[in-house]
Structure 1
Amino acid sequence: MTPRISTLVGSDNYFEHFAVGDRFRHARGKTVTEMDGVLITNLVMNTAQGHFNEHVMADREFGRRIVFGGVTASIVIGLASQDTAENALAELGMTGVRFRSPVFHGDTLYASTEVVATGNADRPDAGVVTFDHIGHNQHGEVVFTGQRRVLLKRASHWAER
């Protein structure tokens, strides 16, 4: 199945609007800037030379600094959030996070998502959706994969009538 451009509008992505097998290519991309890399990496106190020391990294495998995986994950999940989190009541967890290829400052990231499971929650106003998220760079290389579980509002209880 070819991923479709997301047709969900933020207020339309209730639990009932997701079905197993749905695939979305999220509409926006984000170029990773030096500011993104430095800000988030500093906020989480990651001091690895691979993210900060151009001189040392010039002689290493990639020949330059790499973007911290936490930045990559944040951007990919953020790009998917417009379509998968507008009606979220809770983020339940992430598993299987993998960084497949290095990301560098100046790369542009894009996200796609597949719905892999839906299920009832222990409450009548919400359900659980499990998403597989994939991040690609501007060359189409997969840079990130991860599975995310979200508690989403049910339209039958929350939508304006």
Structure 2
Amino acid sequence: MSKTTSKTNAGNFFEDFTVGQVIEHATPRTITEGDRALYQALYPTRFALPSSAEFARQVGLERHPVEDLIGFHVAFGKTVPDVSLNAVANLGYAECRFHQPVAPGDTLRTTSEVIGLKQNSNGKTGVVYVRSTAVNQRGETAIDWCRWVMVHKRDVDAPAPDTFVPDLKPVLEASDLKVPAGLDFTSYDFAAAGEPHRLGDYEVGEKIDHVDGVTLTDAEHMMATRLWQNTAKVHFNTQARADGNRLVYGGHVISMARALSFNGLANAQLVAAINAGAHTAPAYADRTVYAWSEVLEKGETEAPGVGALRLRLVATRGRDESMTLRGDDGKYADGVLLDLDYWALIPV
């Protein structure tokens, strides 16, 4: 009788993590023009810089970068088998910086350091905090970020680790942003970009209704999950959740909302940083996603003609013409799916 052994990766559970642990994630991933094409097929993105090689050249970039979130999704996907394969939910992001644009031909590989642990009061799950770094084939940092995720315990009787919650910056300053080498918006082609609005045309506190909506489908969000090699079971296996629903990957909602934000923010060409992010409610297929933005802050950079706009991007399940983030009780309003605080680079 043959002996059966298991060589498969069951993923880490909460008790497998220790503060200071460094994880080298498998499967480096080379970005191709196919990623650009598939991204544009999945999301209604129209930003000129990642869409046009000539536009990118005219603003000083030697290579034609893909959408910033392509690099983020690819780098994030590398971490899933080791960090969040057994997750209940991804809870938030902080201190995410895009150090340089990612272009076809770049190969990304990711490592993560466990920077915090906190067991939940139910004793069945805990929150794992990691700082992840994606480097390219030249060893240069492309993207780094922190996130925290709720993970199941394998053994509810396993002792709880000492609680350590890292002190993360709530907001990156404009001076913390990395502007791509050579970026120059002094001869920016507003006609090609699609809107005339500069940094000075936006006011802090202003809210922008992006108007359009897109209905989520199982086929598209599962394609996105596989494209980014994100193996989290809850996104494609109906047996992974008690309710039998496939949970839409949070990054899919981020990209959908970012694409929708073109209407009113067409010149916010590059995502420079993500200050904070929360997936405030689950998203499922057949829900229609809309988005609105609030201007939080304006900043300067040393690059010619390049300013920084700090924005709150909110995705909602259904149209929210009132653009209400929280109710009187301080809790997120019904229908809010995503609350994302980020910096974008825009012409002055």
Q: TM-score range by the shorter chain?
A: 0.7 to 0.9
- In 1, distance between residues paired with 2:278 and 2:239? 27
> Structure 1 residues 11, 95: CA separation in 2 closer, same or farther (over 3 Å shift)?
same
Q: Which has the larger radius of gyration?
A: 2
- In 1, distance between residues paired with 2:254 and 2:198? 23
Q: CA deviation at 1:32?
A: 0.7
Q: CA deviation at 1:143?
A: 0.5
Q: What's the counterpart of residue 146 of structure 1?
A: 340
- In 2, distance between residues paired with 1:69 and 1:123? 32
Count of matched residue positions in the alignment of Structure 1 and Structure 2: 142
> What secondary structure, in the 3-state scheme, does the structure 1 residue paired with 2:246 have?
coil
- In 1, distance between residues paired with 2:285 and 2:316? 14
> Structure 1 residues 46, 123: CA separation in 2 closer, same or farther (over 3 Å shift)?
closer
- Whichever residue aligns with residue 263 of structure 2, its letter is Q
- In 1, distance between residues paired with 2:251 and 2:269? 23
1:107-136 CA-to-partner distances (Å, cap 9, x unmatched) read 101101100001222134121110011111
Q: What's the counterpart of residue 211 of structure 2?
A: 27
Q: What's the counterpart of residue 71 of structure 1?
A: 252
1:102 to 2:285 alignment? no
Q: CA deviation at 1:38?
A: 1.3
Q: What's the counterpart of residue 264 of structure 2?
A: 83
Which structure 1 residue ranges, 4+ long, deviate > 6 Å from structure 2? none
Counterpart of 1:39 (choices 223, 241, 246) is 223
- In 1, distance between residues paired with 2:268 and 2:312? 16
* Paired residues of 2:309 and 2:344 also in contact (CA < 8 A): yes
- Whichever residue aligns with residue 95 of structure 1, its letter is N
Higher relative contact order (Cα pairs below 8 Å, separated by 6+ residues): 1
Mark the runs of 5 or more structure 2 residues left unpaired by the alignment.
Answer: 1-192, 320-333
Q: CA deviation at 1:90?
A: 3.0
- Whichever residue aligns with residue 26 of structure 1, its letter is H
Counterpart of 1:18 (choices 202, 206, 223) is 202
- Whichever residue aligns with residue 254 of structure 2, its letter is A
Q: What's the counterpart of residue 112 of structure 1?
A: 292
* Paired residues of 2:314 and 2:339 also in contact (CA < 8 A): yes
- In 2, distance between residues paired with 1:56 and 1:124? 50
- In 2, distance between residues paired with 1:106 and 1:78? 18
> What secondary structure, in the 3-state scheme, does the structure 2 residue paired with 1:134 have?
strand
> What secondary structure, in the 3-state scheme, does the structure 2 residue paired with 1:11 have?
coil
> Structure 1 residues 103, 89: CA separation in 2 closer, same or farther (over 3 Å shift)?
closer
* Paired residues of 2:290 and 2:315 also in contact (CA < 8 A): yes
> What secondary structure, in the 3-state scheme, does the structure 1 residue paired with 2:212 have?
strand
Q: CA deviation at 1:83?
A: 2.0
> What secondary structure, in the 3-state scheme, does the structure 2 residue paired with 1:27 have?
coil
Q: CA deviation at 1:25?
A: 1.3
Counterpart of 2:309 (choices 106, 115, 129) is 129
Mark the runs of 5 or more structure 1 residues left unpaired by the alignment.
Answer: 1-8, 155-161
Q: Pick the structure with more strand per residue.
A: 1
- Whichever residue aligns with residue 224 of structure 2, its letter is I
> Structure 1 residues 16, 63: CA separation in 2 closer, same or farther (over 3 Å shift)?
same
- Whichever residue aligns with residue 76 of structure 1, its letter is A
* Paired residues of 1:10 and 1:82 also in contact (CA < 8 A): no
Q: CA deviation at 1:65?
A: 1.2
> What secondary structure, in the 3-state scheme, does the structure 2 residue paired with 1:150 have?
strand
